[in-house]
Amino acid sequence: MNQTKTKLALTALFLLAACNGKEGGDDKAAYEEAIKEVTPKLGIISAFKPHLDKPKPRKYDPEKRTDLDRAVTFAANEVRHAANGAAQRIARSKFEAVKALAKPFEEVAKACADVEGDEAAAKCKETVLALEKALADANDKAKAAGATTTFPPLAEASITDEAKKLLAQYDEARGPGEQEKKYLAMRRDESAKPADLAAACDAAAAEAGATFNQYKASGNEELHKVSAHHKAAVDGQCNRVKEQAGTIEVLEACKKEEGAPEEAECKLACSKAKGRIEKGIPAAPFERMKKDYEDVCEEGESEGEGG
């Protein structure tokens, strides 16, 4: 009787151990399969995560950069699309430990859809940070289950070749291109002539226009929108640069004793210069406007008062 009980107990322990071993093996396989399926998606999220922030403004940066908002919207939508694909793949798993990871991906997909404005972009970023934490927790569980691989971190090293290709197109569409980089550098150069800055801006605008035409023909509507907003932004900058350069040109001409513009034209230039100086000088080559204003406009006011 005792021998029979002993045999039954040993058999039960053997079966329990076998079941536990199978469960652990299934968890291991489930994690490894999930990691394999979502790694490309994490590569895309890694590529566009840094672009959920607009560049921090610097002195003499162009004003009215609505194109930067459109660029953030594109980046957030790429993150959303990748997160949604990952959530769908993980949700198919038969194992609850793995299926639970679908939730943080779903939160990213929800928060990063059609982001508009800084507040919406911040919420998108918050869910991406929460996803990073969830992936770290999942990696601990995957290791405990015996998985030989882990979910890659949301970092530059995780960017796949496919994601790099898309990122390169995005960078081209949103700019700046080589001509625009030269123009932006000149905005910070006080020794540059206003007319030269205007010419550099025209070259940047031509470059942005060529990129716009390229993506219009490509059939990629979203990148076309990014390039269109960028082109409009550069065109607007050039209009403002030419206006300020023109004001300085008139003020400097008004200093001449011979061949100076009519008094009314000089007064109009003074009015424009005063408004621009009060608002803030937008580019280093225009800093000379302050001296021109003092020489032409304030001197004229003093003479008027004395008369």
pLDDT in tens, 120-156: 999 999 999 999 999 999 999 999 999 999 999 999 9
Whether 22 is in a domain gets the answer: yes
| pLDDT at residue number 27 | 85
Same domain, 72 and 210: no
Number of domains the chain is built from: 2
Whether 302 is in a domain gets the answer: no
| pLDDT at residue number 165 | 96
Whether 307 is in a domain gets the answer: no
Same domain, 286 and 143: no
Per the structure, the complete domain to which residue 72 belongs is given by 16-151+162-174
User: Residue 192, Cα to own-chain centre: how many angstroms?
Assistant: 30
Q: Collect the ranges in the chain with pLDDT lower than 50.
A: 1, 5-24, 304-307
| pLDDT at residue number 96 | 83
Same domain, 210 and 110: no
Same domain, 170 and 184: no
Q: Which secondary-structure segment (H or E) carries 132?
A: helix 118-144
**255 and 295 in contact (C-beta within 8 Å)?**
yes
Same domain, 96 and 79: yes
Same domain, 144 and 182: no
**197 and 183 in contact (C-beta within 8 Å)?**
yes
| pLDDT at residue number 64 | 84
Provide the H-helix boundaries in the chain: 2-48, 66-91, 96-99, 102-111, 118-144, 161-174, 178-186, 194-218, 221-254, 263-279, 288-293, 299-306
Contacts for 218 with CB less than 8 Å, ≥ 6 apart: 224
- For 234-283, write each residue's pLDDT tens digit: 999 999 999 999 999 999 999 998 889 999 999 999 999 999 999 999 99
Mean pLDDT of the chain: 90
| pLDDT at residue number 6 | 45
Contacts for 15 with CB less than 8 Å, ≥ 6 apart: none
The residue type of 76 is A
Whether 231 is in a domain gets the answer: yes
Question: What CA–CA distance (Å, rounded) separates 143 from 153?
Answer: 15
Q: Which secondary-structure segment (H or E) carries 260?
A: none
| pLDDT at residue number 276 | 96
Burial class (CB in 10 A: 0-12, 13-18, 19+), 297: buried
**135 and 120 in contact (C-beta within 8 Å)?**
no
Total residues found in the chain within this entry: 307
Cα within 13 Å of Cα(92), Cβ side = 9
**104 and 131 in contact (C-beta within 8 Å)?**
yes
Same domain, 95 and 187: no
Answer whether the bond into residue 50 is a cis peptide, omega within 30°: no
Same domain, 33 and 147: yes
Give how far Cα 177 sits from Cα of 67, 169, 173, 243, 287, Å. 14, 12, 9, 24, 26
Q: Which two tokens stand for residue 282?
A: 């937008």
Question: What CA–CA distance (Å, rounded) separates 194 from 243?
Answer: 10
| pLDDT at residue number 302 | 52
Last residue of a domain, one of 110, 142, 174: 174
| pLDDT at residue number 93 | 85
Q: Which two tokens stand for residue 261?
A: 């513009």
